[in-house]
Amino acid sequence: MNEETEQRDLIRRANDHLEQYPELAWLHHVPNGGYRGRITGAKMKAAGVKPGVLDLSLPAMRLNPAGGVYGGYYCEMKRTKGSTTSPAQKKWIRYLRGAGYAVALCKGVELAWSSLMWYLSLPPVPALLSCNTTSDAVE
């Protein structure tokens, strides 16, 4: 299976578990990879696309079992066999971990799902520790 198929399977599984884990509604793909022509690539770069940004992001804070808080979850999906992590991706992984995010590098949908379930099993951040004190701040 290729990376795109693995990732679609993970998103499908996440959508099937929204009732149990409502935060999964916020799991999203960061469209950085793939082939683009020169003009489209230049437009995307000008709009802020950065090389190596990880595939999936879940902006849901959790308590870190080692102490402190995870600011969210990032996952770089790889196909089960024959995939490599680019130097730009490794740089992002180091940065995100240092900045307090949970980061997973997952070969295949099963490992990615296990990692995501581990993250969601962590206690949510109490409202007093969260920056969002009102639910209608943007409305």
User: 98-126: per-residue pLDDT in tens?
Assistant: 999 999 999 999 999 999 999 999 999 98
* 114 in any annotated domain: yes
* 126 in any annotated domain: no
* 9 in any annotated domain: yes
* 109 in any annotated domain: yes
* Whether the predicted pLDDT of 136 surpasses 80: no
- Which residue has better confidence, 29 or 30? 29
Q: In what order do the strands lie in the sheet with 28-29?
A: 28-29, 56-58, 73-78, 102-107
* 85 in any annotated domain: yes
| Cβ(85)–Cβ(78) below 8 Å | yes
Query: What mean pLDDT, rounded, does the chain reach?
Result: 89
How many structural domains are present in the chain?
A: 1
For residue 60, give the CATH number of its domain.
3.40.1350.10
Three-state SS string over 47-62 comes to: CCCCCCCCCEEECCCE
* 128 in any annotated domain: no
* Whether the predicted pLDDT of 130 surpasses 80: no
User: 45-62: per-residue pLDDT in tens?
Assistant: 888 888 899 999 999 999
Quote the pLDDT of residue 38. 83
How confident is the model over 33-53, as a mean pLDDT?
A: 80
| 102: containing domain | 3-121
* Whether the predicted pLDDT of 85 surpasses 70: yes
CA angle (100, 56, 26) in 5-degree steps: 85
| Cβ(113)–Cβ(53) below 8 Å | no
